Chain A
Amino acid sequence: MKRLWLWFSLVLVLSLLLASCGQNAGGSRLKAIQQAGVIKVGTSADYPPFEFVDANGNTTGFDVELMNEIGKRLGVKVEWVDMPFDSLIAGVQEGKIDAAIAAFNYSEDRDKVVDFSDVYYTSEDAFTVVEGSSLTINDPAQDLLSLKLGVQTGTTQDDWLTALVDEGKLPADNLARYDRVDQIALDLKNGRIDVMMSDAVPAEALAKQLGGLKVIYKGVLSSGPMNIVLPEGEADLAKAINEILAQLKAEGFIENLAIKYFAE
């Protein structure tokens, strides 16, 4: 009899889970957003200069200002939802947020569960080491293999390094994964890892902010074009956002933002 109860409760829990996993009802998300007057956008505000919290406690950054402008042109208010980076895709998938912008790069795996807007900016990968280190990296896929590496969980850099591990080239013990990019930089300074792999822009921001770090390699390996993450199959929403992105590019708005935040 004891068994029976256990099974009963297991079935109950599983059915509740399944009931909650269904797809959202059909219909245009764009219409729903315009009706509500609010677009809920997820980000992970711990990645300066793309998204961070400023001295007054406001969420800001390159991505944030860009999205606020997109919201303005859609005629809706942007409601920011701060989440851990690796919850963002799930958030869009489950319909908890209408979009996510957090220096996302296109990847095939992600494309299976969400859609992507057009490219709004192109980023590079960077390798960062402590100042005074004599390390040089010319061919990353070769030169990295004997080093201890740090990377942020769920990023395209993580995928790129994980692929090296899966191919048996990079020993799994050499790769440490972190929740946030500033944690990697600190462990790098503390000597627990040899090299940090990340987007180039935040790498340079961190090197400047923390001091004692230098970027020794920049190039497109894993990242590259950045896109806004949108819910799967919401063509209206994607079209509206892509049209605005095209306008913003034509007007030089994005370029000005890049100058403001990345000092290019």
Chain B
Amino acid sequence: MLSNFLSYIVQGTGVTIAVTLIALPFGLLIGLLLALLYNYGNRWVARSAGIYSLLMRGVPPIVLLFILYFILSGRLINLSPFWAGSLSLGLVSSAYQMEILRGALAAVGAGQMTAARAIGLTRLQAIRYVILPQAIRLAIPPWSNEASIVLKDSSLVYALGVPEILRRAQQLSATTGQPFLAFGAAALIYFCLVFLTNRALDYLAEKTKLPTQPV
């Protein structure tokens, strides 16, 4: 009976991973776009991006999740709790990812843009071929932090009725009366996931490091 239960929690791992794999890239896409707009857009565009980030980061993720859920899963757009939860989590994360990328873009010296323009690249080309490849590399270590936060925050989607690891641990705790076992198993799974994610991204950062890049 116990092994059945543990496998029940492990099945939730798939849901947790799926939510994270949707939320992270979705947040990255929006975050990158906003970071570029913030750094290179005209002042109104930049200001809007700044306000977006301010609002999204100023509200606890769970509150945003509920608000976005009721918009994304309303009458106009009707997504399942799984998709609504994953995309909402991605939107929450996009503001943080924007800040990470904004910092990374700024960390590539302003002289690079001037130099790129001087050899005849347009602004877009300079961003695409000179600035961005360096900025993305710089962003990997802080981004790995965000990746583990999103992975752990994926437990919030339970509030919308998506049965991931945490919820399954709660049910198991309620049925067996062994909370330590149930939550211990959940903690172990989360830890392994976060550990593996961070290790993989460390490896990626090391592999893609430029010779010019400080350690």
Contact = CB atoms under 8 A, between A and B. Distances in A.
Interface of A: 2, 5-6, 9, 13, 16-17, 19-22, 24-25, 42, 45-48, 52-57, 81-84, 87, 91, 94, 96, 180-182, 185-186, 206, 209-210
B71 A5 contact: no
Given A42-B161, A84-B158, A21 B70 contact: yes
Given A45-B171, A82-B167, A180-B170, A186 B4 contact: no
A210 B67 contact: no
A10 to B, nearest CB: 9
Interface stretch (B72-80, B113-121, B186-194): B72-80
Contact of A91 (B5, B74, B161, B176): B161
B174 to A, nearest CB: 4
B177 A17 contact: no
A46 B170 contact: yes
Interface string B55-81: 100000000000100110111100001
B11 interface: yes
15 contacts: A5-B48, A13-B55, A20-B76, A46-B170, A52-B171, A53-B168, A53-B171, A53-B174, A81-B161, A82-B161, A83-B160, A87-B159, A96-B73, A185-B177, A186-B179
**Interface of A, helix, strand, loop or mixed by DSSP:** mixed
B51 A94 contact: no
Contacts of B39: none
Nearest to B176: A209
A98 B67 CA distance: 21
A45 B48 CA distance: 43
A18 to B, nearest CB: 11
A86 to B, nearest CB: 10
Sorting the interface of chain B by its residue count into under 10, 10 to 19, 20 to 34 or 35 or more gives 35 or more
B46 to A, nearest CB: 11
Contacts of A54: 175
Contacts of A182: 173-174, 177, 179
B123 interface: no
B32 to A, nearest CB: 21
B1 interface: yes
A16 B72 CA distance: 10
A53 B175 CA distance: 7
Interface in B123-171: 158-161, 163, 167-168, 170-171
A83 B163 CA distance: 9
A19 B76 contact: yes
B162 to A, nearest CB: 9
Contacts of A181: 174
B4 A56 contact: yes
B172 interface: yes
A3 to B, nearest CB: 11
B8 interface: yes
Given A45-B171, A181-B174, 9 more contacts: A5-B47, A17-B71, A53-B175, A55-B1, A56-B8, A82-B171, A96-B73, A182-B174, A186-B179
A111 B52 CA distance: 39
Contact of B70 (A20, A42, A53): A20
A5 B51 contact: yes
A47 B174 CA distance: 7
Nearest to B12: A57
Contacts of A24: 75
Nearest to A49: B175
A53 B160 CA distance: 18
Contact of A9 (B55, B161, B170): B55
Nearest to B77: A20
A6 B55 CA distance: 9
